[in-house]
Amino acid sequence: MQSKECVAMLLAGGQGSRLGVLTKKLAKPAVPFGGKYRIIDFTLSNCNNSGFDTVGVLTQYQPLALNTYIGIGSHWDLDRKNGGVTVLPPFVKEMGGEWYKGTANAIYQNIEFVDQYRPKYLLVLSGDHIYKMDYSLMLDFHKEKQADATIAVIEVPWEEASSFGIINIARDARIIDFEEKPAVPKSNLASMGVYIFNWELLKKYLEEDEQNPRSSNDFGKNIIPMMLKVGQRMYAYPFKGYWRDVGTIESLWQANMDLLSDKPKLNLNDPKWTIYSVNPNHPPQYIAPTARVTGSLVNEGCMVYGEVNHSILFPGVYIGEGAKINDAVIMPNAKIGANTVIERAIIGVEAVIEDRCQVGCLDEACGRCSEPCSRITVVEGNIVVAGGSVLKSCSLAKNELTVRSS
Amino acid sequence: MKNVMGIINLMEDEEFLKEISHHRPAAAVPFGGRYRMIDFVLSNMVNSGIRNVGIIVQHKYRALMDHLGNGKEWDLDRKRDGLFYLPPGQGCQQGSYRWDLRHFHTHLDYLQYSRQKYILISGSNMICNIDYRDAFQFHQAMNADITILYKDMENTGEDLSRCHMVETAEDGRIIDLEINPNKMRGSKMSMEMCIMEKSLLVELIHRCYSRGECDLVRDGFIRNLNRLRIYGFPYQGYLAHIDSIQSYYNHSMELLRPEIWQQLFFDKGLIITKVKDGAPTKYSKGSRVHNALIANGCIIEGTVENSIIFRGVKIGQGAHIKDSIIMQKCKIEEGALVENVIADKEVTITKGKHLKGEKNYPMVIMKKTVI
């Protein structure tokens, strides 16, 4: 096989349990985002746009939808004769098999895959972040610093810093230390989960880590600290731009809402950096005479008869007459009945909400809480909510809903 | 339908769509917010299970090749069969007309190499969502030599003067076929789609060619009405016959009726087109949109009423689009007023300009014009 300078490995096996019902039957990278995309589209499109044409996608949790979606990678122009996309699930070996025990173990189990291309560098990505990034610039930086490993970092607000992997750097961007979710962060530079390693060196560490039964086989917890301790040349590559971890309901909802500002920080209309996705080939959206659509993103195949404000409609969504949708994310093919009111909510794929329902906290006279609560109501995909139902986030455990009508 | 191949004949008078077909074949004319006319017949064939399609193209077919490519979007990028372009042969450029047999004669090799026994021939300006399997079953059940698809246009008020009209007996056999008749006797319009055995087509081509005859419909069908069993299959669904700017405009506006939108785009299968990977359309806080079809990648800050907006159109604040068709990547700047207009791709209407056509004579603006 033709050798490649750099191979990308995309970690897409995460369950994303904090997304609750949204990831019940779906791996987190396959969760719909932004009215058209799935989360993994951003990373795959970044690969193509950066000129990286060899990508291994490591899947594990609920892979069916994700595997079908990725296919042979043609939607991202990654169906190549040499390289392209390869989906890599865990597999059984001569001496039995096992699940991917951690991010580092997932790469360890696929050393043979990477070795086929005899790469000098390995790019490790995670499939659950929303951002546009040119990885080729990071690789240039890595070479320029003659680094053994480079970690992409972004400045986050100090008050949120303790929920990230925090990196401390010297003046020349060399990494001094790395702390996973520190209680008292020493810096506000967060690791983006994007790493470049010199492959031959990384292999040694992966093999060493594998020998340690107490290791959790994780890049952040084990491999990076181990390399730092020995004094390998580790550098932080500063990324400036929009980057979001959408691992929770709140952050997923907020990142969607970010797209609705007048000049969103993440520009989806940039012809130089197209975000590719699988296109369901629906006709143009139909906006009826009774409809009113403002401050929203709407996709093809939608039929809108009601009012939609500051919301995101995925393909094939139907909004009935008299319905009022506000601050909501409505996923593909969901049907919203007439005169139903939805506020601050995420409606799952193909959910049906019948007429005259109320979803989300709308008023102060709720009885359960003294003021409209800011929590987001999530309606599971593929369920039917019977006409006239009232669903408020404050009445739902863990922001989840699994009401089924008869 | 494994045994049926398709031929799409794009030999047509291309002046009928005036400015919008100046630089492209009529088949590549944008229609319905994100499609080209040819998408409908091609998608119908693929959705019906046809896996081998040849397209007889005229000059100016670059736009068409750009759109269809190797047929990947239609799943026609196959190792065997798939999509074939059939360009004009030597001497066919000038003086050729729609059902000129010379075009078929030029590509006899392709017809004979293809493994399918039957052939379905169609033009591209009859826009519908049809399952050809029904017509094929009819063809076999009737033991017909040729089956011509027709649509009864009674009470549609359409101008039928440039159509092929058929008359059928009770059992469905076609007893008369007229090209552009002067006087209408019936209302059954041929959809210029027909099914027959490939061997019969080859025989008709040779037979006509050797007698100096040259028109498939006139010399191949009409002269053989008695000799061959030619049947008419009545199509019941929605049909948009586009043969003038006026019919293009009227049929486009019909898509604003949800029942027609549903029928044409979803009924028997999805209409496939080239994917552009545009973002979802963005509506600003001040946008007002009523009764409109809007494709992806648009940014709408103004008002849109009773209109069709193609992909990637930008409509500035205070701009007002009414009863118009605005094609791909047009820019309507702030405060512009556009009414009864068909704007071709990449037209810019600058700030504050007022443009108004009439409903029965829409104003057509050429590609890339800046006003």
Q: Residues of A with CB below 8 A from B279's CB?
A: 34-36, 268-269, 275, 297
**Residue B273 within a domain:** no
Q: Which residues of B touch A268 (CB under 8 A)?
A: 279-280
Identity of the residue in A294, A303, A312 whose CB atom sits nearest the CB atom of B287: A294
Contact B32 A287 (CB under 8 A): no
State both tokens at B312.
């990637």
Q: Do B286 and B261 belong together in one domain?
A: no
CA distance B276 to chain A (A): 9
**Does residue B323 fall inside a structural domain?**
yes
- Chain B contact set for A295 (CB, 8 A): 283-285
Give the model's pLDDT for residue A406. 35
Residues B220 and B187 in one domain: yes
Residues of B within 8 A of A276 (CB-CB) are: 277
A285 touches chain B (CB under 8 A): yes
Cβ within 8 Å, pair B293-A286: yes
Same domain? B249 vs B337: no
Residue A404 CB contacts under 8 Å (≥ 6 apart), including other chains: A383, A384
| Residues B109 and B250 placed together within one structural domain of the fold | yes
Task: Give the N- to C-terminal CA distance of chain A in Å, as an integer.
Answer: 57
- Rounded-to-integer distance, Cα B200 and Cα B204, Å: 6
Same domain, B216 and B332: no
Which residues from chain B sit within 8 angstroms of residue A287, using beta carbons? 289-294, 304
The helix (run of H) or strand (run of E) holding residue A62 is none
A275 and chain B in contact, CB less than 8 A: yes
Distance to chain A for B230, nearest Cα, Å = 36
Of A300, A290, A359, residue with least CA distance to A329 = A359
Question: Is residue B100 domain-shared with residue B166, that is, in the same domain?
Answer: yes
B81-90: pLDDT as tens digits? 999 999 887 6
Give start and end residues of each alpha helix (H) in B19-122: 37-47, 62-68, 101-106, 108-113
Better pLDDT: A260 or A396: A260
Instruction: Please give the Cα distance from B269 to B267 (Å, whole number).
Output: 6
Question: Does residue B289 share a domain with residue B260?
Answer: no
First to last CA, chain B: 50
Residues of chain B with pLDDT under 70: 13-14, 90-96
Tens digit of pLDDT for each residue in A345-377? 999 999 999 999 988 876 655 556 555 566 788
Instruction: Check CB contact under 8 Å for B279 and A268.
Output: yes
The whole-model pTM stands at: 0.91
**A62 near A25, Cβ under 8 Å?**
yes
Which regions of chain A carry the CATH code 2.160.10.10?
286-397
Is B275 among the domain residues? no
CB contact under 8 A, A300 and B296: yes
For chain B, what is the domain count? 2
Residues in B lying within 8 Å of A, measured between beta carbons? 32-34, 72, 256, 258, 261, 264-266, 270-273, 275, 277-297, 299, 304, 308-310
Do B357 and B294 sit in the same domain of this protein? yes
Note the pLDDT of residue A398.
42
Q: According to CATH, what is the number of the domain A6-258?
A: 3.90.550.10
Do B180 and B301 lie in one domain? The reply is no
Residue B272 falls within a domain, yes or no? no
Structure-token match 């019941």, residue found: B236
Distance CA B313, CA B304 (A): 12
List of residues 6+ apart from A94 with CB closer than 8 A: none
**pLDDT tens digit sequence for B115-124:** 999 999 999 8
- Return the pLDDT at A404: 47
Distance, in Å, from the CA atom of A303 to the CA atom of B10, rounded to the nearest integer, reads: 34
CA atoms within 13 A on the CB side of B36: 20
Check whether A399 has a pLDDT greater than 50: no
DSSP B303-322: EEEEEEE-TT-EE-TT-EEE
Is residue A79 within 8 angstroms of chain B, CB to CB? no
In a domain, B163, yes or no: yes
Stretch (H or E) spanning B160: none
- C-beta atoms of B275 and A281 within 8 A: yes
What pLDDT shows up at residue A133? 97
**Final residue belonging to a domain, choices B266, B292, B323:** B266
Give the span between the Cα atoms of A340 and A334, in whole angstroms.
13
C-alpha span between A192 and A55 (Å, rounded): 18
Whether residue B209 is contained in a domain is answered as yes
Contact residues on chain B for A333, CB-CB shorter than 8 A: none
B169 and B254 housed in the same domain: yes
pLDDT of residue B228: 93
**B32/A297 Cβ within 8 A:** no
Work out the minimum CA distance from B139 to partner chain A, whole angstroms. 31
A294 touches chain B (CB under 8 A): yes
Whether residue B247 sits in one domain with residue B300 = no
CB proximity A262 to B under 8 Å: yes
Ranking A158-167, A307-316, B332-341 by mean pLDDT, the lowest is A158-167
* Domain that residue B260 falls in: 4-266
**Residue where one domain finishes, among candidates B220, B237, B266:** B266
**Residue pair A346/A331 in contact by the 8 Å Cβ criterion:** yes
CATH, residue B297: 2.160.10.10
Task: Write out the two tokens for A191.
Answer: 């690791």
CATH topology of domain A286-397: UDP N-Acetylglucosamine Acyltransferase; domain 1 (2.160.10)
Inter-chain residue contact B279 with A281, CB threshold 8 Å: no
Note the pLDDT tens digit of each residue in A126-141.
Answer: 988 999 999 999 999 9
The pLDDT of residue A21: 85
Residue A354 assigned as binding residue: no
pLDDT band per the 50, 70, 90 thresholds, residue A405: very low
Count of A-B CB contacts under 8 Å: 105
Closest of B18, B230, B20, B201 to residue B116, by C-alpha: B201
Q: Do B285 and A268 touch (CB under 8 A)?
A: no
pLDDT in the model for residue A391: 82
For CATH 3.90.550.10, the residue range(s) in chain A are: 6-258
Residue B333 resides in a domain: yes
Beta-bridge partners for A329: A312, A346
Among A34, A284, A312, select the one facing B294 at the smallest CB separation. A284
B274 part of a folded domain: no
B154 and B293, same domain (yes or no): no
Q: State yes or no: A181 annotated in a binding site.
A: yes
Instruction: Count other C-beta atoms under 10 Å from residue A289's C-beta.
Output: 12
Which helix (H) or strand (E) element contains residue A301? none
Which of B296, B308, B310 is opposite residue A299, by nearest beta carbon?
A: B296
